[in-house]
Structure 1
Amino acid sequence: MVDLGLLMETDWPAEARKATEGRGANLVIDMVGGGALTGNLQSLAISGRLVTVGRLGGSSDTLDIGMLAFKRARLIGVTFRSRSLEDKAAIARSFATDVLPHVIEGRLMPRIDRIFPLSAASAAQALVQRNEHFGKVLLAIR
């Protein structure tokens, strides 16, 4: 498993290619947005897919259309805001079926920045608003 935190501190496109024996990733899910597009394309395999989800780095970037064409890549933007309730429910069911088992088995592990007690929810929210975290900020309810 590749530590994504480590990749962000290094030449992560090169590390991604190294981890895939030079092929590049078939799928890159971008949770950052602005500032990550070029590196994401560099780490992508020929005919790979780049799905943009997050916008923490901003909502705009510069696209090298030559690299996009060379990679024959598919660039896909997603959001939940414009989806119907039925779409959201279907996505949640698919996540439970297709992704959650990998998390439970330890094959997919989210990067956790910090865990706050529920009584410190406002401090957790302030941390996220200041964009001073890398990974998920969790609330412990026990």
Structure 2
Amino acid sequence: MAASAVNRADLLQRQGFYPPPPGASEIPGLECSGVISEIGENVEGLRVGDQVCALLAGGGYAEKVAVPWQQVMPVPDGVPLAEAAALPEVACTVWSMVFMAARLRKGETLLVHGGASGIGTMAIQLAKAFGSSVLVTAGSAEKVQRCLDLGADEGVNYREEDFAERFRGRADVILDIIGAKYLAGNLDALAIGGRLTVIGMQGGTRGELDLGTLMAKRGTVHGAGLRTRPVDDKGVICRGVTENVWPLVAAGAVRPVVHATVPMEDAAQAHRLLEQGEHIGKILLTR
């Protein structure tokens, strides 16, 4: 292992609210980068000594990790090995939810909540690279500006302005990390035929949905995560990322955004940084 990265799921697991799926390592860490030291049977396209990054169900904070080969991806050209640990979770989440599930198309508009987060910074760059417009919410003027610097077209500081009023009826796809608290506002922001994708529940798990409005807008609501998906499903996502996202990373059109790099032995400090909510992009843990 060269590096891992901190995700909000790690905080929840530490607090006892998000245990790993059956059979997965109980050590935290949902992504990593490193060098292959051993290969099992029937492994395709990988060799001992390859520099790779991987999507994990757990174990990213360990010294070594065993990973299903389907979830292992090459390090994109031009990306340092440790920095590659910032990519798997965000790239696979955005690719699977925004492009595979919600089918964002060129010329459409994506609304990203938490635009300055690791997932948000990846979503902004990928949507722009594929020819879409991007709206964002973020928790400060500085964060909004960083999102604009990454390519977002318009941003709202949610502490000062109602995103639903600003973006009413404009979002073809919404990538939401908040959940229940934003449900009504997201419905207002959806365009006709819009697709709401929920990947987080920071704002609660239960809310009311106006089905009349949803039907009038011919909208859809989709919720999913990565951690508990079957290996074959994760493999499909990882192949899609390798084929469609990595060339953009290699070309410099998309890049990992790293807020801080923390030694693995100081993982507690990395958790505190994430909990403070002032970060922009990813927080890496390196060995």
- TM-score bucket of the superposed structures, by smaller chain: 0.7 to 0.9
SS of 1:13's equivalent? helix
**What residue in structure 2 maps to residue 15 of structure 1?**
166
1:128-139 maps to which residues of 2 (within 5 A)? 128=274, 131-133=275-277, 136-139=281-284
**What residue in structure 1 maps to residue 137 of structure 2?**
4
- In structure 2, distance between residues paired with 1:39 and 1:99: 30
**What residue in structure 2 maps to residue 74 of structure 1?**
220
Larger radius of gyration: 2
1:126 aligns to 2:272 (yes or no): yes
SS of 1:95's equivalent? helix
TM-score, reference length from structure 1:
0.72
Percent of matched pairs sharing the same residue? 30
Q: 1:100 to 1:53 in 2, by over 3 A?
A: farther
| 1:66-85 Cα distance to aligned partner (Å, 9 max, x none) | 22112110111112244111
**Distance apart, 1:140 and its partner CA:** 5.9
Q: 1:42 to 1:91 in 2, by over 3 A?
A: same
Selected match of 1:39 from 180, 185, 204: 185
More helix by share: 1
TM-score, reference length from structure 2:
0.39
Gaps of 5+ in 1: 18-22
**Distance apart, 1:92 and its partner CA:** 2.1
Larger relative contact order (Cα-Cα within 8 Å, sequence gap ≥ 6): 2
- In structure 2, distance between residues paired with 1:16 and 1:55: 21
- In structure 2, distance between residues paired with 1:115 and 1:54: 23
**What residue in structure 2 maps to residue 117 of structure 1?**
262
- In structure 1, distance between residues paired with 2:135 and 2:247: 19
1:105 aligns to 2:258 (yes or no): no
**What residue in structure 2 maps to residue 56 of structure 1?**
202
Q: 1:139 to 1:82 in 2, by over 3 A?
A: closer
CA RMSD in angstroms comes to 2.9
One-letter code aligned to 1:32: I
Aligned residues: 132
